[in-house]
Amino acid sequence: MTGRRIAETWTSRLGVIMAVAGSAVGLGNFLRFPGLAAQYGSGAFMIAYFISLILLGIPVCWAEWTLGRYAGQRGFNSSPGIFYALIRHPAGKYIGVLGAVIPVVIYMYYVYIESWCLGYAYYYLTGQMNLGSEVSAYGDFFARFVGAVEDGLTLGRGHNQVIIFLAIAFTFNFVIIYRGIAKGIELFCRFAMPALIVLALIIVARVLTLGTPDPARPDQNLLNGLGFMWNPGDVGHQLRNPELWLAAAGQIFFSLSVGFGVIVTYASYLSEKDDVVLSGLTASSANEFCEVALGGMITVPAAFVFLGTAGIMGQGTFALGFNVLPLVFSKMPLPWLFGGMFFTLLFLAAVTSSLSMLQPGIAYLEEGLGLNRKQSITLLGMLTALGCLFMVYFSKDLKALDTVDFWVGTFLIFVMATIILICFGWVMGVDQGWVEAHKGAELRLPKFFKPIFKYVSPLYLLTIFAFWVLFKVFGWDRATGTFTPTEYVTDLVGAEPNNVARLGVLLILVVTGFFMVLAAAAGRRWDRARQATPTRKGTPQ
């Protein structure tokens, strides 16, 4: 099946760790995490967060590394191929389609956000970020810059700066991906990861030396800012809020890039001699360092010092990053420098993540249609460009982006993570999975992870998922026991449906349908290869 392709591999262990860590470290670390932690009360949030990390994030991560390498050994690099090899049933390839749909669709909006970071970095570094001093001024700037004021705004004359940045970011990703696994992704991540960590350390050092910038407001000092981010509040009470547990689990998945089909793809380029246990743990630890120790030290403490609690509470992820922080930088000496560094850091973090969203699609088009790299990149480029245009055009209130993020970036991730856990613990079987994971391993897993893989993680995940559906889809009110379907549902099937939301879901369905058809076609070739040479590489055995 893969006979026509030259197998690609990583050139070094550090390289693959950097690439997986690069996928994990992204906007989620520097914007999403601090926003959520501050919103739910950090002490309590961190407890739920670490429990999710140990019971969900790390087990799913190890399962993905192991399953990916296992299937890669059998010649499969695309998620449908990988699950076909694992499940050894034609249904496997359709199930695996999710692992191609999720990253490809997320790319369509993630690269748009990436282009905002590039735009902000450019405006800062060239001294053009001068937008008055009111939060609202920045709010207006952001809303106009990204087109949140009106559909199609950024495609019109005079408002289309963001399109230039988008074109640059989009092309940049494809140029890197075109160079391949080793010369493209690995090389870029080897440079970008250390660079972004250095930038983050400089910014953390700056934040930690802010002191009490406004003597008239002695309360707004650095220590209180750190306390606001990190002091435990009424932990017992906060932990009783199920939404906090849902947010913590969702953040763990999003941040570690697990449950997307990305790590299985990356791991499929490993050889059997390569370690997966220690590498998976190292990449995850690098992500946690960037998230908690760096991401948790910048946005919220800095915003508190200059704006107090009011500047932070109730701000969404985007508002915190693109409205509040520019205001904070404007109150610091050398705003162009720190603003420029921060948004460059965000841009680099976003690129290393978005690259990982493209590789599963490329691998699938290569494997499913028998295309070469150039052809599959061209096709994926056209597909993602269309999807991206959709996000850009329907920009009012960022509705298209928000809808797709909800259904793909949260809902489908839960589904995919469940599939991965079941495949590892039940289809492959935890005993064989254990043996597979330990091939070439430089670290032995503690025995208690066996029951975690098999029972605890799937049960925990299914419980979280069930509550998520109850709260976020059916709008369950615990106090009254009533159900009021949320906007995400009423937008689609309510009395007053929202056409943009409907189109967003249609987009997801169209991509899924296209990939399903591809799976059917590819499956026939894979079956023929299996019948012809039952033990050949590239056939599920």
HSE value, Cβ hemisphere, 13 Å, CA-based, for 243: 13
Q: Can you tell me which of 15, 22, 28, 119 binds ligand PFF, judged by CB under 6 A? A: 28
Which one of the spans 8-16, 254-262, 400-408, 420-428 is the region binding ligand PFF (CB under 6 A)?
254-262
CB of 350: closest distance to ligand PFF in angstroms? 7
Cβ(83)–Cβ(95) under 8 Å? yes
Q: Can you tell me which of 356, 376, 384, 512 binds ligand PFF, judged by CB under 6 A? A: 356
CB of 38: closest distance to ligand PFF in angstroms? 17
Cα separation of 507 and 405, whole Å? 12
Cα separation of 458 and 455, whole Å? 6
Asked if residue 24 binds ligand PFF (CB under 6 A), the reply is yes
Q: What residues pair up with 476 in beta bridges, in sequence order? A: 483
DSSP 154: G
Name the residue nearer to ligand PFF (CB basis): 100 or 204: 100
Asked if residue 353 binds ligand PFF (CB under 6 A), the reply is yes
Q: Can you tell me which of 357, 400, 445, 464 binds ligand PFF, judged by CB under 6 A? A: 357
Q: What residues pair up with 119 in beta bridges, in sequence order? A: none
CB of 356: closest distance to ligand PFF in angstroms? 5
At 426, the amino acid letter reads W
Asked if residue 270 binds ligand PFF (CB under 6 A), the reply is no
CB of 284: closest distance to ligand PFF in angstroms? 11
* Residue numbers 400-429 binding ligand PFF by CB under 6 A: none
Q: Can you tell me which of 1, 18, 23, 457 binds ligand PFF, judged by CB under 6 A? A: 23
Asked if residue 290 binds ligand PFF (CB under 6 A), the reply is no
Sign, CA torsion 388/29/129/339:
negative
* Residue numbers 48-107 binding ligand PFF by CB under 6 A: 103, 106
Name the residue nearer to ligand PFF (CB basis): 321 or 523: 321
Cβ(58)–Cβ(277) under 8 Å? no
Asked if residue 253 binds ligand PFF (CB under 6 A), the reply is no
DSSP 482: E
Q: Can you tell me which of 39, 115, 173, 257 binds ligand PFF, judged by CB under 6 A? A: 257
Q: Can you tell me which of 16, 19, 20, 27 binds ligand PFF, judged by CB under 6 A? A: 27
Name the residue nearer to ligand PFF (CB basis): 119 or 295: 295
Asked if residue 220 binds ligand PFF (CB under 6 A), the reply is no
Name the residue nearer to ligand PFF (CB basis): 117 or 327: 117
* Residue numbers 299-328 binding ligand PFF by CB under 6 A: none
Q: Can you tell me which of 65, 254, 306, 411 binds ligand PFF, judged by CB under 6 A? A: 254
Cα separation of 346 and 331, whole Å? 20
Query: Collapsing DSSP states into helix, strand and coil, what is residue 505?
Result: helix
Asked if residue 29 binds ligand PFF (CB under 6 A), the reply is yes
| 3-state secondary structure labels for all residues of 161-207 | HHHHHHHHHHHHHHHHHHCHHHHHHHHHHHHHHHHHHHHHHHHHHHH
DSSP 413: H
Site string for ligand PFF, 490-519 (x = CB under 6 A): ------------------------------
Q: 75-103: b or e for each residue (b if 16 or more CB lie within 10 Å)?
A: bbbbbbbbbbbbbeeeebbbbbbbbbbbb
Asked if residue 255 binds ligand PFF (CB under 6 A), the reply is yes
CB of 287: closest distance to ligand PFF in angstroms? 7
Task: Please give the helix or strand (H or E) that residue 250 lies within, else none.
Answer: helix 242-256
CA neighbor of 71 nearest in space, from 61, 59, 83: 83
The pair of structure tokens assigned to 441 is 């391993």
Interacting residues with ligand PFF (CB under 6 A): 23-24, 26-29, 103, 106, 254-255, 257, 260, 262, 353, 356-357
